Structure 1
């Protein structure tokens, strides 16, 4: 996985000072300890930007472009990044409940210790994406294309994988009581022995221990 390409020293700026609807491109800066609230813009772009302790309140950035960006200890709950293009981005220890990433394209993206309950990825394309120690309860991956996507020690209870092939996807270290997935889409998925027993129940099998 490629990491964000960000210089060691970035100038600190205030979002309100650089935000311009007529020139929706923000690059080479750090934005920290603030609230970005009630902003709606189509096709805004961020490149080589670090967000630290930023709250995104009622934000709609459809078709957003994120390249070489880090979000650290941010709150992106219910943010709308639908149809976004997200490349070489890290979300670290951030709250992202209900974030809308449906129809988005994610590549080389690392979610590290994030709370992602009720997030949306429907019809998205995820390539080289890692969910690492994340809470993903009730997350929706409806008809996604997953390629080299990892779920490392995540809570994936009640996740919806309907219409999403899981061939080559490793969920063996993650925990769940139930998930929504068809047997056809489960083919080739890497699971633990305990999980395999649970899936056997979907086939009506009774496994002796």
Structure 2
């Protein structure tokens, strides 16, 4: 189902449970999305610019091959979500449940993770430039074969992290 931003805004105003919807190739810009159930939705190949997700459930959401710029995820459940082969620029993750997120083969630039549970996340084969993890639980996460430039792990749990 290919829809545009206007149709998406109408859809989210009409219902709060959009779990398992297919939003492949969606383009969203200058939008705030709050309090929605977006579990297992497909955002494959989508583009997000200046979008804020707040208090949403995005568990298992698929952002494969997506572009995210100036996006904020605040108080979000992102367990088991997929950002593989994606580009994340100036993205902020704050107070997220990020258990086992897949960021494999992605580009992350100026990305901030704050006060978040990031256990068993996969960053393998990714490029990380100017990425900060502040007060995050990264236990058993994987960073093998990554290019890392100016990456910080302030006050974060790095128990059994693979680099």
Residue 126 of structure 2: aligned partner: 134
In the alignment of these two chains, the number of paired residues is 160
TM-score (structure 1 length as normaliser): 0.70
Residue 3 of structure 2: aligned partner: 14
Q: Structure 1 CA distance, aligned partners of 2:138 and 2:44? A: 29
Q: Find 2:160's aligned residue among 154, 159, 168.
A: 168
Residue 144 of structure 1: aligned partner: 136
Superposed CA deviations along residues 85-143 of structure 1, whole A, max 9, x for unmatched, are: 11121112111111111221101211121111111112111122111211111111011
Residue 34 of structure 1: aligned partner: 26
Q: Structure 2 CA distance, aligned partners of 1:147 and 1:167? A: 5
Residue 92 of structure 1: aligned partner: 84
**RMSD value over aligned CA atoms?**
1.8
Moved >4 Å (runs of 4+): none
Q: Structure 1 CA distance, aligned partners of 2:12 and 2:43? A: 18
1:63 counterpart = 2:50: no
- Secondary structure, in 3 states, of the residue corresponding to 1:151? coil
State the 1:13 CA deviation: 4.4
Residue 154 of structure 1: aligned partner: 146
Q: Structure 1 CA distance, aligned partners of 2:72 and 2:157? A: 25
Matched-pair contact (CA < 8 Å) for 2:140–2:159: no
Q: More deviation in 27-36 or 50-59?
A: 27-36
Superposed CA deviations along residues 128-163 of structure 1, whole A, max 9, x for unmatched, are: 211121111111101111222111211222111111
Q: Structure 2 CA distance, aligned partners of 1:145 and 1:48? A: 24
Matched-pair contact (CA < 8 Å) for 1:81–1:104: yes
The structure richer in strand per residue is 1
Structure 2: segments with no counterpart, 5+ residues: none
Q: Structure 2 CA distance, aligned partners of 1:45 and 1:98? A: 24
Residue 194 of structure 1: aligned partner: none
Q: Which has the higher contact order (CA 8 A, sep 6+)?
A: 2
Structure 1: segments with no counterpart, 5+ residues: 1-11, 172-209
